[in-house]
Amino acid sequence: MRQLILDVDTGVDDALALMLAARHPGWNLRAVTCVAGNTSLEGVVRNTLTVLEAVGATSVPVAAGAARPLLEEPRDAGHVHGGDGLADLGWVPSARKPEAIHAVELLRREILASPEPVVLVPLAPMTNIALLLRTYPEVAANIGQIVFMGGSAAVGNASPVAEFNVWHDPEAAQIVISSGLPITMYGLDVFYSVAIEAPDIELLRESDDAGCRLSGHLLTHLAKVNADDFRLTSPGSAGIGDAGAVCAVIDPEGLVTHRHRVEVSLSNPLTRGQTVVDRRTKASEATLAHGYLSRDSIDVALGVDGRRYASLFLDTIRSHDGK
Ligand code: BDR
Ligand code: CA
């Protein structure tokens, strides 16, 4: 079975991603690591364990990692994810405890022990992943691919030009993006394009299965938060956000990517955290010669089959629904 590890800041849409990954029969979710982002590290760990329990994935090891970005102070996103990071649903928290080791140690252990190269999916600020690559560079040999949610080739959300995960820890993102590993950037250019329609959300909410019900409530929250978002066309629908990046791992044919050099803006306060995507062709060689862009190229997602991924999400989540 294919081997998958998620790094999360759970987070309403991280929760959807966790449930999808845990329920997909073709992938073994080897581990989940937590980092401060949408909410505090403590909240992320609690939410992650709670979500995994809702889908019966109680044997997946979970570890706490960085409580703050490399340089910045933590800045949560309670206005999107609720005060507890999980839409303030009052869902009973899991009593399970995380592993007694740091996320970086769990990542190292599981990557090196994996029988085949791991697909690593950061859905959060990439602090843990940057620390991992700097502390244990030998893990690179058994990472098949990194598919991260973050960045944008166009507009931002945390700032006019910066996406939240990269904006939260720009130095970490730059370390990962320039690592030379095979990387796919699943950014805001596709993030909002995979949506679940209102009738399907209602069916999930009414399910007897805890995972379906939790998904339904979280999607209802997202539908309200994003009600006036220009990118969602159908009223009452909700984007699955981070879960789309997991769809891209399971079904890469649904994604259109182009190979581009990407550099994170670090020193300009106006653009800090922006992923500067060089979409030029021949002109890029000239800029490279001047030395102000690195040679790192990654696959940037610029198109997605939203209906295909919405079906993949729904079919997988509902696979345990007795109805
Ligand atoms: C990203 O930031 C968080 O709010 C979401 O969980 C997602 O990972 C979107 O910018
Ligand atoms: Ca996230």
Write down the pLDDT at residue 284: 62
Write down the pLDDT at residue 282: 61
Per cent of the chain over pLDDT 70 is: 93
HSE (side-chain half, CA atoms, 13 Å) at 312 = 26
pLDDT of residue 106 exceeding 70, the answer is yes
* ipTM rounded to 2 decimals: 0.98
Probe target for ligand 1 pocket from 35, 164, 189, 240, with the most ligand atoms within 8 Å of CB: 164
pLDDT of residue 262 exceeding 90, the answer is yes
Write down the pLDDT at residue 93: 95
pLDDT of residue 85 exceeding 90, the answer is yes
Write down the pLDDT at residue 26: 96
CB 18 within 8 Å of CB 32: yes
Query: What letter would DSSP give residue 114?
Result: -
pLDDT of residue 170 exceeding 70, the answer is yes
Query: What letter would DSSP give residue 92?
Result: P
Nearest to 4 by CA among 128, 137, 159, 111: 111
Write down the pLDDT at residue 150: 98
Give the residues across from 200 on adjacent strands.
none
Write down the pLDDT at residue 200: 97
Tokens coding 156: 């931002």
Q: Ligand 2 centroid to 38 CA: how many Å? A: 7
Give the residues across from 211 on adjacent strands.
none
Range name among 32-36, 105-109, 259-263, 278-282 with the lowest pLDDT average: 278-282
Write down the pLDDT at residue 232: 64
Query: What letter would DSSP give residue 233?
Result: -
Question: What's the mean per-residue pLDDT of the chain?
Answer: 93
Atom of ligand 1 nearest to the CA of 164: 10
Atom of ligand 1 nearest to the CA of 168: 2
Write down the pLDDT at residue 294: 56
pLDDT digit string, tens, across residues 171-186 = 999 999 999 999 999 9
Q: Ligand 2 centroid to 112 CA: how many Å? A: 25
Query: What letter would DSSP give residue 139?
Result: G
How many other C-beta atoms lie within 10 A of the C-beta of residue 57? 19
CB 166 within 8 Å of CB 173: yes
Query: What letter would DSSP give residue 236?
Result: T
pLDDT digit string, tens, across residues 67-83 = 999 999 999 888 888 89
pLDDT digit string, tens, across residues 274-321 = 999 988 766 566 666 665 555 568 999 999 999 999 999 999 999 987
Write down the pLDDT at residue 79: 86
Write down the pLDDT at residue 255: 98
Q: Ligand 2 centroid to 34 CA: how many Å? A: 10
pLDDT digit string, tens, across residues 194-248 = 999 999 999 999 999 999 999 999 999 999 988 777 666 688 899 999 999 999 9
Residue 35 Cβ contacting ligand 1 at under 6 Å: no
Write down the pLDDT at residue 265: 97
Q: Ligand 2 centroid to 287 CA: how many Å? A: 33
Whole-angstrom Cα distance, residue 255 to residue 191? 11
